[in-house]
């Protein structure tokens, strides 16, 4: 910086002349991806992310640039429409164990949850693949009767267990009544303990505190954590390590009227979110029986004037957006290309209320810049990223620093 010696007065910033801005902006973090559906941070290396492409490749993104393949499953999946490679979760002990889990549809269109292992600094070894076994080890896939509503997300919770969001099997109005069927894994949130030896025949055991473990009067599968979901397209936990509550927040795609955000306080399994009896907070197919009562309404829902396909996001716990945004839940609509945040306030009983909806679409460059938002991501510091499926880019959200609005001349 150069100083001009001929000035006889000193220009200083007036401390009261700063304009505080709450608008959020976005910068392109990386580009050149093909139909990305997830973006997962490496917990041990802040310079590395793993970009999941629907066509079957997981790409290493290092220092914002696309590098080598982490894993290529393009020859082992079916892809297109709502099928493909749909989810990735790194084990909580990933740095030591090298274990990771992926969710994809196989050539028959059925859901596979596969475990892989990689050595430090190396790509994933395809030969390490092990498909989790279902139905008393009889099958290595969850049958999908229709090509849509496959869910696809995988997330490890603060309890160390793997949560698997399963759609209702597809078509419209859940024609096979899977979401309320206690014997079906479809239309459910599953919860598994996958911290078993490589030699374990199923690849998981049932957590003892699963709500249907040990048998119940309705005969529900013990893997089930919650009932009544239509197509949970992205869910996350409010990160305890960054001061969050540990609540599970789900974006569940609606049928033709409502899109919904479901909120579940930490360790409150066994909820029934109501599909297809309920769509969002409204009645839907009232003639359909439910597995059990009561039904849990969403903490927030919206109608077709705002969007048509919710993409669930994250409760923000980072720093760069400022204190005003901490504790707000960010989500998007895939079809509309819009992004919002809403405040979530948990009461003494752990249940949350939602208020103060803010749309960020225009500040982020509009729908042309956002494209179809397929997912969100956070880094280990809790900073937020938006994944544009149609544009093949990842955007990092930030709030620019305050700017001075006035100068004061001191003689």
Q: How far apart are CA 234 and CA 38, in angstroms?
A: 9
Residue 11's pLDDT band (cuts 50, 70, 90) = very low
Does 226 score more than 70 pLDDT? yes
- pLDDT by residue (tens digit) across 48-66? 999 999 999 999 999 999 9
Residue 121, pLDDT score: 77
Query: Which pLDDT belongs to residue 119?
Result: 87
- 41, pLDDT greater than 90: yes
Question: How many CB atoms within 10 Å of residue 351?
Answer: 15
Inter-residue contact 166 to 189 (CB < 8 Å): yes
Q: What is the largest CA-CA distance in the chain?
A: 88
pLDDT for the residue numbered 401: 76
C-beta separation of 321 from 379 below 8 A = no
Q: With beta carbons less than 8 A apart as the criterion, state whether 331 and 261 touch.
A: yes
Tens digit of each residue's pLDDT (9 = 90 or more) over 341-380:
999 999 999 999 999 999 999 999 999 999 999 999 999 9
What average pLDDT does the segment 183-204 reach?
97
Label residue 408 by pLDDT band (50, 70, 90): low
Cβ atoms of 373 and 407 within 8 Å: the answer is: no
Indicate the class that CATH gives domain 25-318: mainly beta
Percent of the chain residues past pLDDT 70, beyond the cut? 92
Which of 62-66, 206-210, 258-262, 404-408 has the weakest average pLDDT? Answer: 404-408
Position 276 pLDDT exceeds 80: yes
Sign of CA dihedral 130, 102, 123, 55: positive
Cα separation of 152 and 374, whole Å? 12
Reduced to 3 states, what is the DSSP secondary structure of residue 369? helix
Residue 92, number of CB atoms within 10 A of its CB: 18
Segment 394-400 shows an average pLDDT of 95
- Cα–Cα distance measured from residue 256 to residue 285, given in angstroms and rounded to the nearest whole number: 12
Tell me the pLDDT of the chain averaged across its residues.
92
Q: Minimum mean pLDDT among 28-37, 113-122, 318-327, 336-345: which range?
A: 113-122
410 pLDDT more than 60: no
Q: CA torsion, points 324, 397, 390, 377, in degrees to nearest 10? A: -80
Q: How confident is the model at residue 404 (pLDDT cuts 50, 70, 90)?
A: low
Q: Where are the domains of the chain?
A: 25-318
* Angstrom distance (rounded) from CA 269 to CA 266: 8
C-beta separation of 128 from 117 below 8 A: yes
Q: Give helix then strand counts, H and E, for the chain.
A: 2, 30
Distance CA 124, CA 102 (A): 12
**Cα–Cα distance, 58 to 70 (Å, whole number):** 5
pLDDT of 6: 28
* pLDDT over 90 (residue 409): no
Q: Among candidates 226, 263, 252, 283, which has minimal Cα distance to 349?
A: 263
Alpha carbons 118 and 70: distance in angstroms, whole number = 9
SS (H, E, C) 96-121: HHCEEEEEEECCCCCEEEEEEEECCC
pTM: 0.93
């Amino acid at each position: 910086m150069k100083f001009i010696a001929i000035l006889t007065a000193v220009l200083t910033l007036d401390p009261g002349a700063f304009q505080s801005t709450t608008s959020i902006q976005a910068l392109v973090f990386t580009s050149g991806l093909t139909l990305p559906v997830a973006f997962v941070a490496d917990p041990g290396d802040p310079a590395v992310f793993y970009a999941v492409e629907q066509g079957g490749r997981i790409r290493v993104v290092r220092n914002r640039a696309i590098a080598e393949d982490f894993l290529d499953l393009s020859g082992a999946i079916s892809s297109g429409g709502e099928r493909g490679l749909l989810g990735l979760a790194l084990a909580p002990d990933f740095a030591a164990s090298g274990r990771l889990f992926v969710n994809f549809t196989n050539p028959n269109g059925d859901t596979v949850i596969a475990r892989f292992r990689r050595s430090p600094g190396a790509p994933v070894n395809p030969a390490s693949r092990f498909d989790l076994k279902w139905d008393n080890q009889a099958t290595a896939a969850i049958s999908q009767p229709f090509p849509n509503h496959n869910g696809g997300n995988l997330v490890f919770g603060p309890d160390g267990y793997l949560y698997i969001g399963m759609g209702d099997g597809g078509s419209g109005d859940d024609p096979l009544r899977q979401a309320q069927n206690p014997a079906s894994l479809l239309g459910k949130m599953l919860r598994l303990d996958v911290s078993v030896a490589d030699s374990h025949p199923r690849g998981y055991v049932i957590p003892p505190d699963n709500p249907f473990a040990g048998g119940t009067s309705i005969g529900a599968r013990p893997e089930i954590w919650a009932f009544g979901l239509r197509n949970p397209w992205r869910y996350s936990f409010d990160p305890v390590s960054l001061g969050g509550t540990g609540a599970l927040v789900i974006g569940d795609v609606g049928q033709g009227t409502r899109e919904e955000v479901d909120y579940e306080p930490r360790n409150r399994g066994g909820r029934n979110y109501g599909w297809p009896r309920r769509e969002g907070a409204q009645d839907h197919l009232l003639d359909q029986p439910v597995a059990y009562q009561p039904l849990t309404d969403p903490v927030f829902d919206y109608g077709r004037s705002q969007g048509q396909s919710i993409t669930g996001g994250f409760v923000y716990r980072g720093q760069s957006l400022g204190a005003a945004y901490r504790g707000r839940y960010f989500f998007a609509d895939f079809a509309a290309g819009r992004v919002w945040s809403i405040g979530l306030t948990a009461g003494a009983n752990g249940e949350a209320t939602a208020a103060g909806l803010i749309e960020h679409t225009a500040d982020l460059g509009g729908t042309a810049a956002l494209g179809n938002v397929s997912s969100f991501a956070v880094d280990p510091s809790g900073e937020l990223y938006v994944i544009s499926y149609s544009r093949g880019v990842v955007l990092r959200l930030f709030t620019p620093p305050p700017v001075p609005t006035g100068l004061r001349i001191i003689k």
